[in-house]
């Protein structure tokens, strides 16, 4: 059997299939898709001419000599411009057309090569430098090797470009984009050794298969309900924009009351509402003819990316979207009133990195709702967002250079009239920003997972302190250590903490772990496993920040707690008589449940008196002392921790 055209036939079928799939999956919009489609068409044509050439080669019929020559020439022409075209596809993938200018890129990387290859093939008709037909038999010329060298250079250019921009891609996408080259190299060698094995097109087709599988996947980028791009695509595009130092605007559209609306609507109606909003935005952007891209992130949050070319239309777009979302939307006999925050962000002038853009857009409802378009420039607290954008870097450097420190805040025992415990609080000092509050950096460490390292460091410092002579003479019974939710969810946390305690000879009653309630009960059950193991070892727990956040009584009652810490916002009731009743009765209820109470954030003598009268066991707050570095804390206890009543200096 003549197996030579079999490869080409297979390629033809596969390529036709990819082309049809691209069409039916509606992946036709945008530069990336357009170059992909052109690539598929060129490959299909190349295959067709190769099949024709092979067919005519086999016939050896002089009557078809001209057609045979043309088929080979067109095949070689198309085959050679595939790589320049692929380079344009890579430029589109990296979104770096602005580096060259789109037209210049197309001139230099498509038109010039096309003219060049065209001229070579035309010249070949006269001098046979690429190939000749000797009585219908295909014979390669000397220039064929030059063409191979030029192709190798194109491949090198593509690979170098991908290496330079590798950070823009996930490993799977990078593999997809690079896979063509080793495949082609193997095919070229095979085809050079035996010209009858026409495998080059098949290698390219397999490369396209990788691209179709890893890259051209609508499900990865399109939200099927609204039909617009989803969060993944937003993340990739924005990161790429910042990385490539592009100038663009983003219009943020947050439907602040979407979650409440979603609760009253059924699933289908909520989806329908989202589709209506997406259509409204889409119509406005289409009408404006601006160069934009739309995204639906989640929870009623839409984004419009406005390219540099159309930045002058951002204001108009934002105003139009804002106006269109104001009237009540009719939906299945109901009238839906949206609270839409529309805000323009100029990148990179106002926000210059992806994390800050996400953080800023998360919750616009913290800004007063005026119904007018908002401008990020007027809303950004730059020092805060600058800090947020460099926070991960600061944290990582602080871990590497051991710059975290543990401070201690004494906790006063009302009945014993002295300090019997203290809370360990982590501190981070940065040369540029000064002390960074844990309320800011702890959430960041939870996001990146560095809380595990920091938590272990804090715990080890505390154990070292407990094992020291200073602690033995301090009059303290135990230290309270904060555990974040993320730490509690780590399998092996219990074993880890217990082994650190063992290393320093710390007894379980010398440690109390502070935990907070979590929003969902799933998380609560994972946490329960760690807690059970630590409880079995004899360690006790406090519930931190009670009176804020979720404070689900039922869940609190079922948690194995020794202490409940009343949060400072709950404690500072500002003489609101109703809140006072809430606090009094909460204290009563907790005592009836046999829980000990630590009142946090007490700053005044008046509050000390109030909670002393309520029989709360412990008081913690600036009234007694701020959190102190270990040595100062030891000094403080030496001076103040007598069994006689504590006097505040
Ligand atoms: P928290 O556990 O509720 O800690 C009490 C916070 O209240 C501390 O803030 C403390 O400095 C502050 N505070 C104490 N007394 C007063 C007062 O009288 N008035 C006022 N206004 N504030 C008072 P800090 O140190 O900024 O810590 C903030 C939060 O960061 C902590 O809240 C805790 O949730 C977290 N955190 C601190 N250290 C650690 C740690 O080592 N690990 C973990 N996972 N979280 C930590
Ligand atoms: Mg705490
Ligand atoms: Mg607290």
pLDDT in tens, 587-646: 999 999 999 999 999 999 999 999 999 999 999 999 999 999 999 999 999 999 875 444
pLDDT of residue 521: 57
With a CB cutoff of 8 Å and minimum separation 6, the contacts of 247 are 308, 311, 347, 348, 349
Give the pLDDT band of residue 2 (cuts 50, 70, 90). Answer: very low
Cα 631 to Cα 408: distance, rounded to the nearest angstrom = 10
Give the pLDDT band of residue 520 (cuts 50, 70, 90). Answer: low
pLDDT of residue 615: 93
pLDDT of residue 97: 86
> Does the beta carbon of 47 lie inside 6 Å of ligand 1?
no
Ligand with minimal distance to 428 CA: 1
Distance (angstroms) between ligand 2 centre and the Cα of 330 equals 48
Return the CATH superfamily for domain 387-637.
EAL domain (3.20.20.450)
pLDDT of residue 60: 81
> Does the beta carbon of 598 lie inside 6 Å of ligand 1?
no
pLDDT in tens, 225-277: 998 899 989 998 999 999 989 999 999 999 999 998 988 888 999 999 999 99
With a CB cutoff of 8 Å and minimum separation 6, the contacts of 282 are 228, 294
Q: Which of 471, 477, 515, 517 is nearest to 493 (CA)?
A: 515
C-alpha gyration radius of the chain: 34
Q: Which residue's CA is minimally distant from atom 37 of ligand 1?
A: 425
Ligand with minimal distance to 542 CA: 2
pLDDT of residue 443: 85
Ligand with minimal distance to 627 CA: 1
Average pLDDT, integer, range 89-118: 90
- CB neighbourhood size of 549 (10 A): 12
Give Dmax over CA atoms of the chain in angstroms: 118
Average pLDDT, integer, range 435-442: 87
**Ligand 1 nearest-atom number relative to CA 627:** 11
Kindly tell me if the per-residue pLDDT of 502 is higher than 90. yes
pTM of the complete model: 0.62
Give the pLDDT band of residue 3 (cuts 50, 70, 90). Answer: very low
pLDDT of residue 423: 98
> Does the beta carbon of 461 lie inside 6 Å of ligand 1?
no
pLDDT in tens, 541-563: 999 988 876 667 777 887 888 99
Dump strand ranges (E) for 563-644: 563-566, 596-599, 618-619, 628-629
Average pLDDT along the chain: 89
pLDDT of residue 31: 82
End-to-end CA distance of the chain: 101
Cα 40 to Cα 211: distance, rounded to the nearest angstrom = 11
- Please provide the size of the chain in residues: 649
Token pair belonging to 640: 């103040």
Cα 8 to Cα 47: distance, rounded to the nearest angstrom = 6
> Does the beta carbon of 484 lie inside 6 Å of ligand 1?
yes
Cβ contact 44:20 at 8 Å: no
Average pLDDT, integer, range 343-352: 92
pLDDT in tens, 293-310: 999 999 999 999 999 999
Higher pLDDT, 379 or 2: 379
Cα 147 to Cα 442: distance, rounded to the nearest angstrom = 59
Kindly tell me if the per-residue pLDDT of 82 is higher than 90. yes
> Does the beta carbon of 426 lie inside 6 Å of ligand 1?
yes
With a CB cutoff of 8 Å and minimum separation 6, the contacts of 521 are 555
Ligand with minimal distance to 566 CA: 3
Ligand with minimal distance to 601 CA: 1
> Does the beta carbon of 627 lie inside 6 Å of ligand 1?
yes
Phi, psi angles (nearest 5°) of residue 125: -60, -25
Cα 321 to Cα 527: distance, rounded to the nearest angstrom = 44
> Kind and range of the H or E element at 512?
strand 511-515
Average pLDDT, integer, range 131-158: 93
Average pLDDT, integer, range 46-57: 92
Mapping DSSP to helix (H, G, I), strand (E, B) and coil, where does residue 423 land? strand
Distance (angstroms) between ligand 2 centre and the Cα of 480 equals 8
For the chain, the domains span: 6-216, 220-380, 387-637
Residues with CB under 5 A from ligand 2 (ion): 482, 514, 544
Kindly tell me if the per-residue pLDDT of 436 is higher than 70. yes
Dump strand ranges (E) for 94-197: 131-134, 137-140
Kindly tell me if the per-residue pLDDT of 448 is higher than 90. no
Kindly tell me if the per-residue pLDDT of 34 is higher than 60. yes
Secondary structure of 590-626 as H, E, C letters: HHHCCCEEEECCCCCHHHHHHHHHCCCCEECCCCCCC
> Does the beta carbon of 482 lie inside 6 Å of ligand 1?
yes
Percent of the chain with pLDDT over 90: 61
Mapping DSSP to helix (H, G, I), strand (E, B) and coil, where does residue 108 land? helix
Give the pLDDT band of residue 1 (cuts 50, 70, 90). Answer: very low
> Does the beta carbon of 460 lie inside 6 Å of ligand 1?
no
Q: Which of 434, 517, 600, 608 to mutate to test the pocket of ligand 1 (most atoms within 8 A of CB)?
A: 600
> Does the beta carbon of 603 lie inside 6 Å of ligand 1?
yes
Q: Which of 425, 598, 625 to mutate to test the pocket of ligand 1 (most atoms within 8 A of CB)?
A: 425
Cα 526 to Cα 491: distance, rounded to the nearest angstrom = 9
Taking the domain 6-216, which CATH number applies? 1.20.1070.10
Long-range contacts, 383-387 (Cβ 8 Å, 24+): 385/351, 385/356, 385/359, 385/360, 387/433, 387/436, 387/440
Phi, psi angles (nearest 5°) of residue 614: -80, 5
Give the pLDDT band of residue 19 (cuts 50, 70, 90). Answer: very high
Give the pLDDT band of residue 528 (cuts 50, 70, 90). Answer: confident
Distance (angstroms) between ligand 2 centre and the Cα of 437 equals 13
List C-alpha distances in Å: 86 to 155, 161, 199, 609, 644: 9, 12, 19, 77, 83
| CATH 3.30.70.270 at 220-380, yes or no | yes
Q: Which of 36, 432, 362 is nearest to 208 (CA)?
A: 36
Which of 178-182, 219-223, 379-383 ranks highest by mean pLDDT? 178-182
């Amino acid at each position: 059997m003549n197996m030579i055209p079999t490869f080409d036939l297979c390629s033809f079928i596969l390529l036709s299939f990819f082309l049809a799939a691209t069409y039916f999956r509606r992946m036709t919009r945008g530069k990336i898709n357009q170059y992909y489609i052109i690539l598929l068409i060129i490959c299909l044509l190349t295959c067709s001419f190769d099949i024709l050439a092979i067919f005519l080669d086999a016939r050896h019929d002089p009557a078809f000599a001209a057609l045979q020559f043309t088929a080979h020439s067109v095949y070689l022409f198309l085959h050679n411009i595939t790589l320049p075209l692929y380079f344009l596809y890579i430029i589109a993938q990296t979104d770096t057309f602005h580096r060259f200018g789109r037209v210049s890129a197309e001139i230099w990387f498509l038109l010039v090569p096309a003219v060049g290859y065209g001229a070579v093939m035309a010249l070949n008709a006269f001098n046979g430098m690429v190939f000749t037909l000797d009585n219908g038999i295909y014979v390669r010329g000397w220039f064929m090797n030059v063409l191979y060298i030029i192709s190798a250079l194109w491949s090198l250019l593509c690979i170098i470009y991908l290496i330079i921009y590798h950070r823009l891609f996930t490993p799977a996408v990078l593999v997809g984009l690079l896979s063509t080259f080793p495949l082609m190299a193997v095919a070229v060698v095979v085809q050079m050794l035996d010209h009858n094995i026409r495998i080059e097109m098949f290698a390219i087709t397999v490369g396209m298969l990788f691209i179709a599988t890893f890259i051209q996947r609508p499900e990865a980028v399109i939200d099927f309900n609204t039909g617009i791009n989803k969060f993944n695509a937003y993340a990739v595009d924005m990161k790429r924009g910042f990385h490539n130092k592009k100038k663009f605007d983003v219009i943020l559209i947050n439907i602040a009351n979407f979650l409440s609306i979603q609760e009253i609507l059924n699933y289908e109606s909520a989806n329908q509402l989202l589709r209506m909003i997406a259509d409204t935005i889409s119509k406005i952007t289409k009408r404006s003819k601006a160069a934009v891209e739309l995204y639906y992130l989640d929870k009623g949050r839409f984004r419009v990316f406005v390219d540099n070319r159309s930045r002058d239309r951002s204001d108009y777009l934002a105003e139009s979207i804002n106006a269109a979302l104001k009237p009540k939307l009719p939906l299945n006999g109901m009238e839906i009133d949206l609270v839409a925050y529309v805000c323009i962000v100029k990148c990179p002038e106002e926000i210059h990195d992806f994390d800050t853009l996400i953080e800023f857009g998360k919750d616009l409802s913290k800004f007063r709702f005026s119904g007018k378009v908002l401008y990020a420039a007027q809303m950004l607290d730059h020092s805060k967002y600058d800090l947020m954008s460099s926070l991960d870097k600061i944290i990582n450097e602080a871990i590497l250079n051991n710059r975290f420190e543990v401070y201690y805040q004494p906790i006063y025992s009302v009945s014993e009239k002295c300090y019997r415990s203290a809370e360990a609080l982590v501190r981070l000092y940065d040369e540029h920003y000064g002390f960074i509050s844990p309320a800011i950096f702890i959430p960041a460490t939870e996001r990146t997972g560095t809380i595990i390292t920091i938590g272990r460091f804090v715990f080890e410092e505390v154990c070292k302190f407990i094992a020291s002579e200073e602690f033995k003479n301090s009059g303290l019974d135990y230290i309270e250590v904060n555990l974040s939710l993320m730490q509690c969810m780590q399998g092996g946390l219990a074993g880890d903490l217990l082994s650190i305690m063992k290393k320093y000879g710390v007894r379980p009653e010398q440690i109390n772990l502070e935990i907070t309630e979590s929003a969902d009960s799933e998380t609560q059950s994972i946490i329960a496993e760690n807690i059970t193991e630590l409880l079995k070892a004899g360690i006790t727990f406090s519930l931190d920040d009670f009176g804020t956040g979720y404070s689900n009584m039922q869940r609190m009652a079922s948690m194995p707690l020794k202490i409940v810490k009343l949060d400072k916002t709950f404690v500072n009731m500002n003489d609101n008589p109703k809140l006072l009743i809430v606090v009094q009765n909460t204290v009563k209820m907790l005592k009836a449940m046999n829980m000990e109470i630590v009142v946090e954030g007490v700053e005044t003598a008046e509050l000390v008196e109030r909670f002393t009268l309520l029989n709360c066991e412990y008081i913690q707050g600036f009234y007694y002392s701020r959190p102190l570095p270990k040595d100062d804390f030891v000094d403080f206890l030496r001076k103040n921790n007598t069994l006689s009543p504590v006097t505040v200096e």
